[in-house]
Structures are given as structure tokens and as C-alpha cells.
């Protein structure tokens, strides 16, 4: 008799044959991570948005647990994805802002650890790493990063040029002609200008990610559990959904952006006619068009996620697949005369988070419930590793969200520290389930919001006598959090303004040129 020992995180399983061992492996649930780009945490039907419709994401939330205090602690594409793929806080993965062309060199990654746990790991869509074809532990990547300026310049080596290295662009040229590009709409990848997609819907990048993800289900190894990351570009600009989705919102009366009584119009007056301004447009018609374009991209994305879910059903794996849905950061969408991300307000930092699946492997899950615990992108990696009973590397700062799936009233942390290197807008913040303290490191400006009572941050309470004790408590927490940072933000007794604050902090070996 052949005896095979099979180790899991907490136990040793003894099986008598390869067939029995194969059955153990096959009983491992699959994992689908649906990642979006620049999707606000409030722009979902189940989250109560008055305008946006997301029937398929609403379904996932109804069949799982959603998190209404999910955040991106360094809210721009590269830094946020570093947290996702490594489970680290930004002070440890060292990306504290946006900077291209910095090599990704991490010993422990989400896909790498899941691969060790017996999973076949496939990514389709956006990675936004360097070099472009760095797989970060995935067995295979079908890449589409969207339009990346740094990978499109004429002096970029051919191997790193998107026109060569990006699979969607390579495919689109084969399908539509060598000169075809996503820029044919006349839109730019950080712009608030919006208009419908000019080609057939099947050529849209959102459809492509779904198509290639479904094709993976067709050709996957049936004897091995899979980890599929379907990584969508939208609703990140360009706002170019197919015309059907624009039509859904064109005739609706849309809720106007939120503008706090603390905000000024100074930047809006100076930059409101610039197509990719950080403040959005000053023209009310263009603000409405940006909202229409953004919402159209969300519903288009939602319908394509519906296609992917239906494919899971048809391939017989839906009931054996854990689905986790999230985004890398939000979109300010003209709230407080702001556009894009990186600043410390809810439109920028708050993200969606859903864990959904069959209660046969999420025993005790209270489907359709909401957890108010503060969670973050760094928590995704330990959650998935915990789910498959794999060891969580010591390098991981995040915490598993699985306990919240069975007991939504628990909490992972009291407050979360976030930040972003952003020139004159460089900021640090602490957020809890009910309030937020902000410190701008260039100017020393502070703000305080009671987000449980004022979710749109209309009123800055920094000078309100009723909250001074809490504000001082959070200020002391931030001083303590930053006291050992190399930039010099804190000496342990006070916050220090004007410190050099690069978007990437090299480690000691890199500083020494090793």
C-alpha cells in the first residue's frame, strides 16, 4: 500500500493512493479575484448610490459579505497594487506615491504563495509592475495595463514598449489594423473628457479581460485548483464605455458632486479648462458628462462581470469558487472640486470590498451582511492564504478578513494610517470606522471629519471644541506612527512639515548600491 503524507497549514492528512491525493487537491476551492481600477466604494447599487446600477455586483454582495470601511492606504495605481500583491503596508513595500519604472523585487507575493499551496495562478488584465512582463509569481499573465505614458514614449526599449509587451494592444492591432489604438476616441487616460467607444463592443478592453478570463476557464487544468485574477482597467479613464451604457445615464437627473464648506475654488478657476486637471472641469455640462462617462464604465464593467460569473456556472465551478471583489483606489469625480485620486478624501481612498462564495467552504458566513471593520488592500493576500490554509509570510502586514465573514461585528484594527507623496498635496491620514484625521505634510494643514455622520465630508470639524480630545488622540497616534520614518515627519513629540517626500523609499541595500 502506498502512503502519501499531505501537509496543510494546521494538519497532516494521510492518504493511501495518488487518486485519493488527487481528490484532496480537487476538493480545494478555486479563487477568483476581480480587481477594478479607480472604482469608488460608494458607486455601487448595494452601497446605496442613487444613480449607479450594478446588478451583478449587487448579487455578489447579496451572496457574501461586503465591507463598507474598505480603504486603499496609498491611493494610486502602483502603490495600491504593491499592497495587494505583497500584503505589506506602504512603509514596508516602500511605494508611498506614484513613480514608474522602479523594479518590483519582493520575495513573497500573493500569486507566489498560492502557487506554493498548489494553485495554478493566472492573471488577465492590469498588473502595472516593472518590468511590464514581471509575473510576480503567476504562472501566466495575459497583460493589459491600459495606456501607460512611461511605456509609450519613442525612446522606450521595444521589449518594454506597450506596443510590443501588452497583449491587448497586440491583439487589437491584429484584429483592427496596425494603427488601431484606444486613443482613437480622442480621449486621454487621466482625463475627465468622456465619449462612447467608437468600435464594436467586443473590442473594448473591458470585454477583452472577460473574454480571456473565460477562455482560461475553457483551457485550465481540471486536476488543479486555480487562482484567477481578472484585473479590469475601467472605470479608470478614459471614460469610453459603449454607447448603450452612456444612454442609460444620459437622460437621468444625476446627483451633483459633493462640495464641502471648507473647499475653495482657487484651483478650479485656474485649471478648470485643462482636460486632465486635478480639479475636474469648471463647466457644469462637462462635470455632468464626466459623471455619465464614469457611471457608464461602471455598469459596462458590471455586465461583463456578469458574463464571467455565468461562465463559472457553465463550467461547473461557481459553487466551488471563492470570489473576492475590490479596487485599487477610488475616483474623486469632482467632489470638492477634485478629480482622480491620491488625496485623502473618501472618493479617493474608499474602495469596494466583497467576499462571496458557497457556505460549504465559508462555513458560518452570514450572506448579505455588511462588516463595518476597517480593512485595506494589504488584507487581501492574507485572507486568500488563510482561506487555503497556507502559511502567511512574516513580511505580510495585512490581516485575514475571514473572521469578519463569519462574525461581521468583529474588527481588524481601530485605525488605518494612509498617505500619499503628492507635491503640495502630500498627505497623511488616520481613518476609523467613524472619523478621519488628515495632515498635509507640506503645509501642516489639518482636517477632521466625522465620516459616520458626514460621509460626504461636507464639514471640517478641526476647530470644533467638542472633538478636540479625539483630534489630539489621533494627532498623537500619527506622531507615534511616523516617528521612525526616514523622511523625518515626526520626532516623537510633534509633526514636522516640509520634509523631503519621494514617492519611493529605497531600502538600505538599494541606497548603498548593492
Coil, strand or helix at 428: strand
Is the Cβ–Cβ distance between 38 and 341 less than 8 Å? yes
With beta carbons less than 8 A apart as the criterion, state whether 195 and 207 touch.
Answer: no
Helix (H, G, I), strand (E, B) or coil at 441: coil
Does the annotation mark 74 as catalytic? no
Cα separation values, 389 from 9, 169, 317, 419, 493, Å:
5, 38, 20, 32, 42
Which residues, 6 or more positions from 501, have their beta carbon under 8 angstroms from its beta carbon? 96, 97, 421, 426, 441, 442, 487
**Which DSSP category does 393 fall into?**
P
Rounded CA gap, 454 and 434, in Å? 9
Helix, strand, coil content of the chain in percent (nearest 5): 35, 20, 50
Written as one string, the DSSP assignment of 54-69 is -HHHHHHHHTEEEEEE
SS3 355: strand
Which of 43, 74, 77, 121 does the annotation list as catalytic?
A: 77
Positive or negative, the Cα torsion across 213, 218, 221, 223? positive
Cα–Cα distances in angstroms (integers) from residue 157 to residues 53, 129, 166, in the given order: 42, 16, 13
Q: The C-alpha cell of 261 is what?
A: 464648506
Contact 419, 73 (CB under 8 A): yes
Is 77 known to be catalytic? Answer: yes
Distance CA 122, CA 124 (A): 7
Measured in degrees and rounded to the nearest 5, phi and psi for residue 226 equal -120, 150
Residue owning grid cell 457608464: 296
Question: Which residues are paired to 495 by β-bridges?
Answer: 490
Choose the catalytic residue: 128, 144, 236, 303: 128
CA-atom Rg of the chain in angstroms: 23
Burial-class residue 514 by CB neighbours within 10 Å (0-12, 13-18, 19+).
exposed
Contact 41, 346 (CB under 8 A): yes
What is the rounded distance in angstroms from the CA atom of residue 180 to the CA atom of residue 142? 19
- Catalytic machinery residues: 77, 128
Amino acid at each position: 500500500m502506498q502512503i502519501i503524507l499531505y501537509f496543510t497549514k494546521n494538519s497532516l492528512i494521510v492518504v493511501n493512493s495518488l487518486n485519493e491525493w488527487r481528490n484532496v487537491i480537487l476538493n480545494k476551492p478555486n479563487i477568483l479575484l476581480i480587481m477594478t481600477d479607480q472604482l469608488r466604494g460608494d458607486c455601487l447599487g448595494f452601497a446605496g448610490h442613487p444613480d449607479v446600477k450594478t446588478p451583478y455586483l449587487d448579487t455578489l454582495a447579496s451572496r457574501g459579505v461586503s465591507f463598507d470601511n474598505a480603504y486603499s492606504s496609498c491611493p494610486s495605481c502602483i502603490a495600491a497594487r504593491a499592497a495587494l500583491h505583497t500584503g505589506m503596508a506602504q512603509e514596508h513595500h516602500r511605494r508611498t506615491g506614484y513613480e514608474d519604472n522602479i523594479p518590483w523585487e519582493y520575495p513573497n507575493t500573493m500569486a507566489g504563495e498560492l502557487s506554493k499551496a498548489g494553485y495554478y495562478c493566472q492573471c488577465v488584465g492590469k498588473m502595472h509592475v516593472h518590468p511590464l512582463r514581471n509575473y510576480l509569481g503567476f504562472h501566466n499573465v495575459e497583460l493589459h495595463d491600459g495606456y501607460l505614458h512611461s511605456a509609450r514614449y519613442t525612446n522606450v526599449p521595444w521589449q518594454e514598449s506597450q506596443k510590443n509587451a501588452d497583449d491587448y494592444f497586440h491583439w487589437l492591432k491584429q484584429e483592427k489594423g496596425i494603427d488601431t489604438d484606444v486613443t482613437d476616441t480622442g480621449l486621454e487616460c487621466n482625463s475627465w473628457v468622456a465619449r462612447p467607444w467608437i468600435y464594436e463592443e467586443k473590442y473594448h478592453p473591458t470585454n477583452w479581460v472577460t473574454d480571456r478570463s473565460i477562455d482560461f476557464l475553457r483551457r485550465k487544468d481540471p486536476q488543479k485548483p486555480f487562482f484567477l485574477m481578472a484585473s479590469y482597467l475601467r472605470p479608470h479613464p478614459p471614460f469610453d464605455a459603449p454607447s448603450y451604457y452612456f444612454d442609460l445615464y444620459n437622460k437621468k437627473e444625476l446627483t451633483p458632486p459633493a462640495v464641502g464648506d471648507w473647499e475653495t475654488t482657487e484651483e478650479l478657476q485656474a485649471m478648470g479648462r485643462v482636460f486632465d486637471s486635478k480639479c475636474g472641469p469648471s463647466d457644469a455640462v462637462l462635470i455632468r458628462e464626466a459623471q455619465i462617462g464614469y457611471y457608464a464604465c461602471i455598469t459596462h464593467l458590471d455586465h461583463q462581470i456578469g458574463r464571467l460569473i455565468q461562465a463559472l456556472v457553465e463550467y461547473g465551478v461557481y459553487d466551488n469558487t471563492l470570489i473576492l471583489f475590490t479596487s485599487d483606489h477610488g475616483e474623486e469625480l469632482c467632489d470638492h472640486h477634485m478629480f482622480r485620486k491620491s488625496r485623502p478624501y473618501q472618493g479617493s481612498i474608499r474602495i469596494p470590498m466583497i467576499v462571496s462564495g458557497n457556505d460549504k467552504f465559508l462555513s458560518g458566513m452570514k450572506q448579505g451582511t455588511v462588516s463595518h471593520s476597517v480593512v485595506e488592500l494589504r488584507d487581501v493576500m492574507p485572507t486568500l492564504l488563510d482561506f487555503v490554509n497556507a502559511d502567511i509570510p512574516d513580511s505580510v502586514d495585512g490581516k485575514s478578513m475571514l473572521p469578519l465573514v463569519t462574525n461581521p461585528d468583529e474588527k481588524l484594527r481601530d485605525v488605518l494610517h494612509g498617505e500619499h507623496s503628492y507635491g503640495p498635496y502630500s498627505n497623511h491620514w488616520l481613518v476609523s470606522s467613524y472619523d478621519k484625521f488628515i495632515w498635509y505634510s507640506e503645509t501642516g494643514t489639518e482636517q477632521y471629519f466625522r465620516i459616520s455622520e458626514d460621509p460626504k465630508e461636507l464639514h471640517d470639524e478641526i476647530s470644533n471644541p467638542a472633538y478636540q480630545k479625539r483630534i489630539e488622540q489621533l494627532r498623537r497616534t500619527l506622531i507615534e506612527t511616523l516617528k521612525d520614518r526616514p523622511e523625518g515627519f515626526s520626532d516623537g513629540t510633534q509633526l514636522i512639515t516640509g520634509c523631503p517626500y519621494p514617492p519611493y523609499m529605497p531600502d538600505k541595500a538599494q541606497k548603498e548600491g548593492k
